[in-house]
């Protein structure tokens, strides 16, 4: 997907104001209807021009002031498209009250009422709930929501998020959508999802414990893409990945040994600002010295460079100029053409960029290719002035831009797995196609676990063969 696939209120209003300033409305008073709603519809059409089916999600809750222009826009789009070319699916809540021992339909009834008041009649209801809805509950919701009972779909909590497609298939949602939109299609192939869920629920090679050392750990969804990419790596290695979120500020206070010694691997993700960075650096140093598999992403790679510069290359006081403008050794810095740009957004490297890998490195082995493309979101870069110094000290610069101007990956050759990348590989990982760096990282965690268990005299979990 591209930036066209994400519409924010700010972008819509900015576009409308710019058009008004250019005189495109011929002096007419700019209003929410039709100007804002027309802009929303135009953006949706531009983003979906080359596809057969578009899923348009409107965030928020029914009745929110912020989402009203968007809801009005989709109301108009359905009228313009016709009933066989568009349908409204409303996600709603059916809470379970433990003290009463029953599911309550009132929130759903009121939510549908709000939607109908603004002119949208839901065609299908996806009912978020703790347990599957009984037929009697579905009948009640259908009666008070003016929705066919077969269009009231249970969306209960599941132990594995990848069960959701199979759950909706069992509820008949896929057939219902195809029927309402007059789409002819064959029966769905669910084997890939079944295989993913089977590996998730019944891992053949036990569990590995991986620590994510960050400063946003109190809101775990901050690392949702990372979380899922690590799960994908576990699926590829037929093992379960248990994640422990560790506050980097606690590492600063307690030391890395107390918090990291029980882990099979350590990952340091991206972030902005200097809070907690010394704790991340301490965690990286612990992983390097104790041969614990380490994976650094974005800021995680930059801090690995800083730790190595300080502790191995002898560059006392090395740091990033993001955190310390007076550092004697800015091993992480803005590129010369970024300096003096006052708008921070203009200095960010965003989107996909190509990268060339060095043959014989862990990165090249993991990818199985020397030319890759990955997505970026950062401002600061590996400072080219320190390439020779850090390379001479043993740091392998394993990936760079095709023009060799930007360092994209670093690693250590004499370590089980010590890899840092400037990009965000988690964005490209998929359950049936795990990202190679995450698959290789989890494999290294498994190997460390095996070595530790052998040294402690513990028995390995038995592997079994399952035929498809």
Low-confidence ranges of the chain (pLDDT < 50): 344-345, 463-468
CB 380 within 8 A of CB 302: yes
Quick one: pLDDT at residue 467? 38
Quick one: pLDDT at residue 460? 59
CB 395 within 8 A of CB 308: yes
The pair of three-digit structure tokens given for residue 395, joined into one six-digit string:
């740091």
Quick one: pLDDT at residue 347? 64
Quick one: pLDDT at residue 454? 84
Give the domains, in start order, of the chain with CATH numbers.
1-86 (3.40.50.300), 206-455 (3.40.50.880)
CB 124 within 8 A of CB 151: yes
426 has catalytic annotation: yes
Q: What is the pLDDT of residues 47-56, one digit of tens each?
A: 988 899 999 9
Catalytic residue selected from 322, 415, 426, 435: 426
- Give the 3-state secondary structure of residue 396: strand
Quick one: pLDDT at residue 273? 77
Quick one: pLDDT at residue 3? 83
Among candidate residues 378, 312, 308, the one with its CA nearest the CA of residue 344: 378
The pair of three-digit structure tokens given for residue 397, joined into one six-digit string:
């610069």
Residues whose CB is less than 8 angstroms from the CB of residue 465 and which lie 6 or more positions away in sequence, other chains included: none
Quick one: pLDDT at residue 165? 93
Helix, strand, coil percent content, the chain, rounded in steps of 5? 45, 20, 40
- CA neighbours within 13 Å on the CB side: how many for 259? 24
Quick one: pLDDT at residue 348? 78
424 has catalytic annotation: yes
Spatial separation of the C-alpha atoms in residues 289 and 96, rounded to whole Å: 50
- CA neighbours within 13 Å on the CB side: how many for 153? 24
Considering the entire predicted model, what is its pTM? 0.85
- Count of other CB atoms within 10 angstroms of residue 411: 23
Quick one: pLDDT at residue 464? 44
DSSP H or E stretch at residue 81: helix 68-81
Catalytic residue selected from 298, 355, 408, 421: 298
- Give the 3-state secondary structure of residue 457: coil
CB 251 within 8 A of CB 277: no
Catalytic residue selected from 232, 415, 424, 435: 424
Quick one: pLDDT at residue 339? 54
CA dist list (Å): 187 to 178, 268, 357:
11, 43, 42
218 has catalytic annotation: no
């Amino acid at each position: 997907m591209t930036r066209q696939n994400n519409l924010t209120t700010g972008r819509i209003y900015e576009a409308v104001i710019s058009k008004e300033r250019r005189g495109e409305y011929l002096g007419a008073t700019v209003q929410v209807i039709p100007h804002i709603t027309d802009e929303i519809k135009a953006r949706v059409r531009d983003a979906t021009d080359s596809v057969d089916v578009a899923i348009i999600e409107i965030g928020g809750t029914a009745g929110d002031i912020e989402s009203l222009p968007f809801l009005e826009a989709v109301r108009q789009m359905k009228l313009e498209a016709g009933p066989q070319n568009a349908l409204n699916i409303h996600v709603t809540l059916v809470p379970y009250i433990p003290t009463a021992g029953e599911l309550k339909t009132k929130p759903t009834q009121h939510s549908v009422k709000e939607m109908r008041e603004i002119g949208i009649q839901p065609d299908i209801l996806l009912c978020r709930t703790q347990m599957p809805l009984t037929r009697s509950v579905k009948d009640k919701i259908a009666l008070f929501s003016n929705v066919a009972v077969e269009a009231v779909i249970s969306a209960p909590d599941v132990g594995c998020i990848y069960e959701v497609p199979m759950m909706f298939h069992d509820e008949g949602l896929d057939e219902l959508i195809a029927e309402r939109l007059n789409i002819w299609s064959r029966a769905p192939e669910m084997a890939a999802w079944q295989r993913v869920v089977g590996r998730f629920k019944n891992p053949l090679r036990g569990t590995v414990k991986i620590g994510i050392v960050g400063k946003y750990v109190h809101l775990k969804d901050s690392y949702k893409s990372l979380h899922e990419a690590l799960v994908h790596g576990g699926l590829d290695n037929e093992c379960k990945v248990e994640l422990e979120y560790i506050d980097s500020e606690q590492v600063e206070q307690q030391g890395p040994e107390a918090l990291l010694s029980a882990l099979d691997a350590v990952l340091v993700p991206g972030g902005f600002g200097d809070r907690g960075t010394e704790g991340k650096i301490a965690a990286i140093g612990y992983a390097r010295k104790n041969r614990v598999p380490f994976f650094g992403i974005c800021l995680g790679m930059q801090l690995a460079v800083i730790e190595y510069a300080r502790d191995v290359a002898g560059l006392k006081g090395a740091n990033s100029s993001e955190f310390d403008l007076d550092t004697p050794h800015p091993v992480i810095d803005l590129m010369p053409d970024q300096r003096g740009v006052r708008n921070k957004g203009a200095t960010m490297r965003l989107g996909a960029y190509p990268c060339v890998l060095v043959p014989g490195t862990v990165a090249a082995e993991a990818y199985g290719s020397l030319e890759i493309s990955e997505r970026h979101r950062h401002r600061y870069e590996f400072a080219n002035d320190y390439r020779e110094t850090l390379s001479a000290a043993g740091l392998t610069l394993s990936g760079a831009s095709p023009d060799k101007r930007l360092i994209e990956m670093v690693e250590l050759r004499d370590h089980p797995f010590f890899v840092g990348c400037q990009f965000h590989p988690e964005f490209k990982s998929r359950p049936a196609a795990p990202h190679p760096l995450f698959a290789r990282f989890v494999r290294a965690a498994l190997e460390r676990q095996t070595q530790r268990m052998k040294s402690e005299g513990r028995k390995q979990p038995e592997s079994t063969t399952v035929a498809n």
